[in-house]
Amino acid sequence: MDRKKLTIALTGNPNSGKTTIFNNLTGACQHVGNYPGVTVERKEGRLKFKDYEIKVIDLPGTYSLTAYSPDEVVARNVIIEEKPNLVVNIVDGTNLERNLYLTMQLKELDIPMVLAVNMADMAEANGQRIDYPLLAELLGMPVVRTIGTRNEGTDELLTKVIDVTEKGLVRTNKQVNYAVEVEDAISRLKGFLPEAKGNGIQMAAGAESISTSDINYPARWLAIKLLEADSEIIKKVKTMPYGGPLLKEAALCREDIRGKLGEDSELAIVDGRYAYIRGATREAISINKIDRVSLTEKIDCVLLNRVLGIPIFLGTMWLLFQLTFTLGAPIMEWIEAGFGVLGEWVGANLNDGLLKSLVVDGMIGGVGGVIVFMPNILLLFLGIAFLEGTGYMARAAFVMDEVMHKVGLHGKSFVPMLIGFGCTVPAVMATRTLENPKDRLVTMLVTPLMSCGARLPIYTLLIGAFFAPQVAGNILFSLYLIGIILALIMAKVFRTWLLPGESEPFVMELPSYRLPTIKAILLHMWERTWLYLKKAGTIILAASIVMWALFTFPMVDQYGNEFSSSEQQVEQSYAGRIGHAIEPVLSPIGFDWKTGTALMAGLAAKEIVVATMGTLYSIEDEEALEEKETATVKTFAERAREQSGYTPFTAYILMLFCLIYVPCLATIAVIKRETNGWKWPLFTIGYTVLLAWVVCFIVYQGGVLLGFQV
Ligand code: GDP
Ligand code: MG
């Protein structure tokens, strides 16, 4: 039988249960990719139902369809440009008023839709009763009750989907009616648009839409977007033949509305939508206010407490890090050992020479260095996914909001910074949840100052070599703390001089607490980890090869003779020459050319710094370096003291420098991708190097003045 093809898109706020329902619908038939140009993930799946073969697209979770964040732009472009036959809007039933805001915006797109009121179990436990037929009538679209976690309502949802498809969009007179002044402006703007054509988005006959070759929107929607001063739409309208006069008229309309209503047209529109939602929910929903305070409110009393909130949050984080590192350590050792064995095996099976050196030192060494951090990163992401799933992460952002606002950032900025302790690459990606572009950029710029997992081996080695075990913990903690403080200071600096402007007020939703399913947590964890592996892995591999080449060539001196020692070889290699070249800049902060060379190697990935120093200070006993830490530490300390005259003080400065200067290449690549250009990644390199140098200069020269042993 030939099945009829149908494409549906799932939309909804983050955490409304979209992914859960997507999984219920499509089972294992999924395909994950990226949207072209932006790194927003695209998920698709397929299923068969009755005579239909249905393609399901899981759109990114968004609170609205403005142009504030890439996720929102992607979600709306898919709906407008790919024209799915139907949109399924999933809303969190425990939080209907807030969730329906997106619904109202979708409705303005004039596209057939079905509303799924999810989390019905929790809503009902809270005493909420919904009159579904009435709600459907008030909103002018079919409404289905679903419970994603129990796979309830899935068939009914599909039945409604087919039903709507077969009937087509039934236009009702249910739409948000804005204030008279706004409605007048909408009519005025619609008058400016060319003759309506019916070939817009999958629309019922008679729906108005305008279309030119590259723009194809419902007229009313376009008019509203212009009144909202939507940057993306304004950009597109500019390219239309009648764009100029239309934009001029829109500006006049906005002016006019402000004059008459005393508030911006954007706000008037937001008000209009909420008023409509309040009206609908008041009629269709009744709440049996159960006497007892809901459990969520009780928990929030403690967790969001003005006094206890921050200590509880910090305690939770401390616990998370403890768990991450204590549970991760043994697994790390296994992986390290595994790569050691792999290296040896490959080494034993390849003839000595360039190829062997490339594969063993360059490729296995470099990629192994990244994979070794996998257990820590997996555990950290597991913990964060759990905290996100329970709803605590949203509270953490809320608790931190006050502090973050002092430096001009949004409470939500804290989450990417937190992820930055694991790895900066996914942390930069996590900034996508920030709606304000300036908040997002500043967060992206300071996240590299959070001490990532790759810096840890540098610290461990140097602290072990130069500091007594009793103070080791404090030294380590001080480095993490300095990173956080510098990040906050730089955020303030950037927000004041580089990207001034108001930060977004806190409008984040606080979802009800729930116990996340294991499947959901594992999926989230895996998605992030995979991004880390894929993005970091490929770039690190390439960078390791480049670094290997810089350290390996030239292999003979200018007379064609081989070098007498490996140390000499390194000194004469391109990397060594660069180290010598930058020595004058580094001597004011107490570093010699060898340190310079090692730091340069760290550009590819921080963990390479340690390996390079090992080579430079010619630790003969390389086996020991790989196998027994204590032996390494001793050897390294002796060598380093002997050959470089390092003291605990210089070692500390070196750690400081490693903390601050240039994030690894993978991070730079991700920043470039996320900002769509070279400007900000280059800026990040520039400012971090400068900052590292300035901080180290102050500490070093200050130490010299105070008579520290240097
Ligand atoms: P998304 O962000 O919209 O993709 O949301 P997810 O599908 O990841 O769901 C967020 C959390 O809500 C997960 O922990 C789900 O297990 C949970 N969840 C989803 N649907 C329901 C439901 O109907 N009832 C309850 N109690 N929990 C749900
Ligand atoms: Mg999801």
pLDDT band at 546 (very low <50, low <70, confident <90, very high): confident
> Residue 227 has what pLDDT?
93
The bound ligand whose nearest atom lies closest to the alpha carbon of 389 is 1
The domain that holds 145 is classified in CATH as: 3.40.50.300
The answer as to whether 175 is a domain residue is no
Cβ of 18 closer than 6 Å to ligand 1, yes or no, is: yes
Atom of ligand 1 nearest to the CA of 13: 3
Instruction: Write the pLDDT tens digit of every residue in 513-536.
Output: 777 778 778 877 787 777 667 755
Q: Are residues 124 and 226 in the same domain?
A: no
> Residue 420 has what pLDDT?
86
Percent of the chain beyond pLDDT 70? Answer: 83
CB neighbour class for 222 (10 Å; exposed up to 12, middle 13-18, buried from 19): buried
In this structure, is the dihedral angle defined by the CA atoms of residues 216, 218, 220 and 221, taken in order, positive or negative?
Answer: negative
Cβ of 45 closer than 6 Å to ligand 1, yes or no, is: no
The answer as to whether 172 is a domain residue is no
Cβ of 26 closer than 6 Å to ligand 1, yes or no, is: no
Query: Is it the case that residue 363 has pLDDT exceeding 70?
Result: yes
Rounded distance between C-alpha atoms, residue 210 and residue 261, angstroms: 29
Cβ proximity of 56 and 46 under 8 Å = yes
Q: Are residues 386 and 448 in the same domain?
A: yes
Cβ of 411 closer than 6 Å to ligand 1, yes or no, is: no
Q: Are residues 46 and 113 in the same domain?
A: yes
> Residue 91 has what pLDDT?
96
Cβ proximity of 661 and 696 under 8 Å = no
> Residue 632 has what pLDDT?
47
The pLDDT of 291-320, averaged and rounded, is: 77
> Three-state DSSP class for 211?
strand
Q: Are residues 320 and 250 in the same domain?
A: no
The domain total for the chain is 3
Least confident of 6-20, 328-342, 689-703: 328-342
Residue of 183 and 326 predicted with greater confidence: 183
Q: Are residues 80 and 163 in the same domain?
A: yes
Q: Are residues 199 and 110 in the same domain?
A: no
Which residues sit opposite 86 in a β-bridge? 8
Cβ of 17 closer than 6 Å to ligand 1, yes or no, is: yes
Cβ proximity of 461 and 629 under 8 Å = no
Instruction: Compute the mean pLDDT over every residue in the chain, rounded to the nearest whole number.
Output: 80
Query: Is it the case that residue 345 has pLDDT exceeding 70?
Result: yes
Torsion of CA 516, 521, 524, 530, to 10 degrees: 180
Question: Among 11, 13, 15, 515, which is best to mutate for testing ligand 1, by the most ligand atoms less than 8 A from CB?
Answer: 15
The pLDDT of 468-489, averaged and rounded, is: 87
CA of 703 to the centre of ligand 2 (A): 51
The bound ligand whose nearest atom lies closest to the alpha carbon of 514 is 1
- Apex 706 CA angle, 700 and 708, nearest 5: 65
Which residues sit opposite 488 in a β-bridge? none
The pLDDT of 77-93, averaged and rounded, is: 90
Atom of ligand 1 nearest to the CA of 22: 7
Atom of ligand 1 nearest to the CA of 58: 4
Cβ of 60 closer than 6 Å to ligand 1, yes or no, is: no
The bound ligand whose nearest atom lies closest to the alpha carbon of 60 is 2
Least confident of 55-59, 243-247, 295-299, 308-312: 295-299
Cβ of 448 closer than 6 Å to ligand 1, yes or no, is: no
pLDDT band at 288 (very low <50, low <70, confident <90, very high): low
CA of 159 to the centre of ligand 1 (A): 22
Provide the token pair at 577. Answer: 């020459």
> Residue 592 has what pLDDT?
84
Cβ of 147 closer than 6 Å to ligand 1, yes or no, is: yes
Q: Which range in 1-15, 86-100, 588-602 is most confidently predicted, on average pLDDT? A: 86-100
Provide the token pair at 449. Answer: 């100052």
Q: Which range in 248-262, 297-311, 640-654 is most confidently predicted, on average pLDDT? A: 248-262
Q: Are residues 161 and 190 in the same domain?
A: no
The answer as to whether 460 is a domain residue is yes
Least confident of 22-31, 407-416, 685-694: 22-31
Rounded distance between C-alpha atoms, residue 557 and residue 538, angstroms: 33
Least confident of 194-203, 287-296, 344-353, 585-594: 194-203
Q: Are residues 18 and 149 in the same domain?
A: yes
Question: Among 149, 294, 513, which is best to mutate for testing ligand 1, by the most ligand atoms less than 8 A from CB?
Answer: 149
Q: Point out the domain boundary residue: 101, 132, 167.
A: 167
- Tokens 């440009």 — which residue? 81
pLDDT band at 40 (very low <50, low <70, confident <90, very high): low
pLDDT band at 160 (very low <50, low <70, confident <90, very high): very high
Q: Are residues 103 and 232 in the same domain?
A: no
Cβ of 93 closer than 6 Å to ligand 1, yes or no, is: no
The domain that holds 263 is classified in CATH as: 1.10.287.1770
Q: Are residues 546 and 637 in the same domain?
A: yes
The pLDDT of 420-439, averaged and rounded, is: 81
pLDDT band at 292 (very low <50, low <70, confident <90, very high): very low
Show the DSSP H helices in 285-308 as ranges. Answer: 295-303
Q: Are residues 377 and 263 in the same domain?
A: no
Query: Is it the case that residue 620 has pLDDT exceeding 50?
Result: no
The answer as to whether 303 is a domain residue is no
Q: Which range in 199-213, 291-305, 687-701 is most confidently predicted, on average pLDDT? A: 687-701
Cβ of 71 closer than 6 Å to ligand 1, yes or no, is: no
pLDDT band at 598 (very low <50, low <70, confident <90, very high): confident
CA of 522 to the centre of ligand 1 (A): 13
Q: Which of 240, 236, 234, 272 is nearest to 107 (CA)?
A: 272
Q: How far is CA 137 from the centre of its chain?
A: 39
The answer as to whether 665 is a domain residue is yes
The answer as to whether 295 is a domain residue is no
Q: Are residues 558 and 487 in the same domain?
A: yes
Q: How many CB atoms lie within 10 A of CB 412?
A: 27
CA of 18 to the centre of ligand 1 (A): 7
Least confident of 4-13, 169-178, 438-447: 169-178
Instruction: Write the pLDDT tens digit of every residue in 622-648.
Output: 444 444 444 444 455 566 556 656 788
Nearest CA to ligand 1 atom 24: 119
> Residue 611 has what pLDDT?
67
Least confident of 36-45, 175-184, 487-496, 626-635: 626-635
pLDDT band at 99 (very low <50, low <70, confident <90, very high): very high
> Residue 206 has what pLDDT?
37
Provide the token pair at 68. Answer: 């504030």
Buried b or exposed e, range 278-303, using 16+ CB within 10 angstroms: eebbeebbeeeeeeeebebeebbeeb
Domain that holds residue 246: 180-287
CA of 524 to the centre of ligand 2 (A): 8
> Residue 330 has what pLDDT?
83
The pLDDT of 176-185, averaged and rounded, is: 86
pLDDT band at 208 (very low <50, low <70, confident <90, very high): very low
Cβ of 544 closer than 6 Å to ligand 1, yes or no, is: no
Cβ of 14 closer than 6 Å to ligand 1, yes or no, is: yes
Cβ proximity of 205 and 288 under 8 Å = no
CA of 406 to the centre of ligand 2 (A): 31
pLDDT band at 591 (very low <50, low <70, confident <90, very high): confident
> Residue 328 has what pLDDT?
77
Percent of the chain beyond pLDDT 90? Answer: 21
The answer as to whether 561 is a domain residue is yes
The answer as to whether 173 is a domain residue is no
> E strand or H helix at 550, and its extent?
helix 537-552
